[in-house]
Structure 1
Amino acid sequence: MPNQFFGHINKWLLLSQSDTDFASLFVRAWIPFNAWYVNHYQITRDRECIDNLKSDNNHFRSRMIALLQTNDDAAQEFKYYLAKLQRRLDMYPIPDAVNPISLRSIYYRENPIMSTTPVVENRGRLYKAEKLAGGDITLQILNKNNNNNTVYSYSHNKYEPTHFLNSLAHSNLSNNQRGVAERCYLEINPKVKENLIADGNRNVLRIHTINLINNPNLVSQAVIELLYTLRNKLFHGEIQPTRQNLSVYEPAYFILRSLLKDIQ
């Protein structure tokens, strides 16, 4: 299959001759980072290493959490560049406006919701979706007005929206009932994107000019995923190498550099 990004090659070749652009500096910073995490985990697959980085108490993530929680010069610099990165991503969506990389909408962990709160609609029907151990998905609709008789039952060995919607289409449920069932199903999507930008000014993690949710643990996981996604878009040549697009790698480079200081 032809590479859909082949047209970017000439622009990248021109940029590769520069020693000062931040995309190149980001790559140079990623190389020792890559060497460190491969050696640290004794795993060669980048995705597996990144997932481990997000979940354990390694030096890289511990330093980030410390920078998020303190306010010394190093912490202030880190927060300045993190806020700058988010602002740049808002201004210049990468890879595009439909699927932008952003702390406003990012999949960085499996959805922790394993079971929806039972929903009872006005006709007395109870809806509940559940993600079981092993990945099985179930959704039940019971009639509360008729001894909890089953109105609809769905079960599948994985989360697969097309399979679920096909089941709904062949059911006797009304359009309204299908809508409620679909909302319950979507709530347990294992790969749901989350918004790390705080709503309001109370109980927030103040990062220079932006407010993030007050959970440094989750923010650190999201930032690691954000940096890795930017790395992939760059390494695979998936973005148009315009001045605006590549400007996001200036704050990304300084963020990565500040986190590499204490890794062992």
Structure 2
Amino acid sequence: MATNTHINNWINRAELDYYTMFIKSWIPFNAWYMKDFYDESSTPKRTSDRSIIDFLNANSNKYRDKIKSLLRGTDVASKDFLELLAKLHYELESHPIPDYDNRISFLTVSLSRNTLKTYSQSVGRFTYFVEFQDQLPKTQKRWFLEIQKKVNNQTLNRVELFEWSLEELNNDPDFISIIEQDQKNKLRDTFLNINPKKPIDVVIKPKRNRNGNFSQPNDSIIIDETNHLYFTDDYDLVSKVIVQLIYDLRCKLFHGELDPIEANLGVYENAYKIQKILIKELRA
């Protein structure tokens, strides 16, 4: 006689494990790029996953060329691919991975390191200033934020942080002590401009017509017309963002930073289905 426990266990086993399936879809991609692009003699060396992914995004190759072809296409395969991109976007926005401040998203992908060490902006009577002193050891605070009077450069507020982190900034007592919320917002905005992993946003807001309806903005790709989701029509940039985003999802999973709960499963379901389409191009 079957028990409720038996029934529940069999139901659980009937569910597809998209975490594992995503890993299986990554393995042939990993094997392909290691075989074709690993190079100890190059400058810089291409011997790590990170360095090879950067190389793939800087050069034409079968994997990224397939993405651009699907983005441009109008056939069934292209429409299916765009639908998966839309679903992945919605899942990532609904279920931030690994968390909201550090989430992986089409709104926050970083392709290259931001080299800015200082940034300032003047608004009204104040100057908002941020500096990264990378010559200091990591054991010391290296990020310095100030609100200064524009008229005499007098420092009114100063915040010192160990690393670039919105969470660390928001929890810092000196930042919390700033009375004016508008000043806190502007200092945070200044901090965002010097983010070492300054994000790229490929999502374009729809146009709103006089009658209140939405329509496709100029220079955009229709990802989901029903829900007014559009990406920039810079196909090369979007293809790089997709490669980077898939790689970021791989890293969170492989490095154990992800809690493999059911809520996050939809993200990896769509990432797996996208990856499954792309690796077919890699057959010898």
State the TM bucket, normalised to the shorter chain: 0.5 to 0.7
Partner of 2:256: 237
User: What displacement does 1:34 show?
Assistant: 0.2
Counterpart amino acid of residue 66 in structure 2: R
Partner of 1:34: 30
Distance 1:261 1:106, change over 3 A: same
Pick the aligned partner of 2:19 from 16, 19, 23. Answer: 23
CA distance, structure 1, for counterparts of residue 143 and residue 255 of structure 2 = 34
Pick the aligned partner of 2:222 from 192, 195, 206. Answer: 206
SS at match of 1:211: strand
Is 1:58 matched with 2:61? yes
Pick the aligned partner of 2:270 from 247, 251, 255. Answer: 251
CA distance, structure 1, for counterparts of residue 76 and residue 36 of structure 2 = 29
Distance 1:111 1:65, change over 3 A: farther
CA distance, structure 2, for counterparts of residue 221 and residue 239 of structure 1 = 23
Partner of 2:242: 223
User: What displacement does 1:173 show?
Assistant: 3.4
TM-score by length of 1: 0.68
Distance 1:156 1:262, change over 3 A: same
User: What displacement does 1:243 show?
Assistant: 1.6
Counterpart amino acid of residue 26 in structure 1: F
Pick the aligned partner of 1:192 from 198, 202, 224. Answer: 198
Pick the aligned partner of 1:69 from 69, 72, 79. Answer: 72
The percent identity for this pair of structures is 32
Q: CA RMSD in A?
A: 3.9
Residues 13-162 of structure 1: pairs in structure 2 closer than 5 A = 20-42=16-38, 43-111=46-114
Structure 2: segments with no counterpart, 5+ residues: 1-12, 39-45, 160-182, 207-215
TM-score by length of 2: 0.64
CA distance, structure 2, for counterparts of residue 211 and residue 228 of structure 1 = 22
Partner of 1:173: 154
Q: Deviations over 1:160-180 (max 9, x none)?
A: 9x54627989x953449x988
CA distance, structure 1, for counterparts of residue 86 and residue 34 of structure 2 = 29
CA distance, structure 2, for counterparts of residue 18 and residue 158 of structure 1 = 54
Distance 1:174 1:84, change over 3 A: same
CA distance, structure 1, for counterparts of residue 52 and residue 62 of structure 2 = 14
User: What displacement does 1:22 show?
Assistant: 1.6
User: What displacement does 1:108 show?
Assistant: 2.2
Q: Is the Cα contact below 8 Å between 2:25 and 2:276 reproduced in 1?
A: yes
Moved over 3 A (4+): 17-20, 110-116, 118-123, 154-160, 166-169, 171-176, 178-190
CA distance, structure 2, for counterparts of residue 28 and residue 218 of structure 1 = 27
SS at match of 1:248: helix
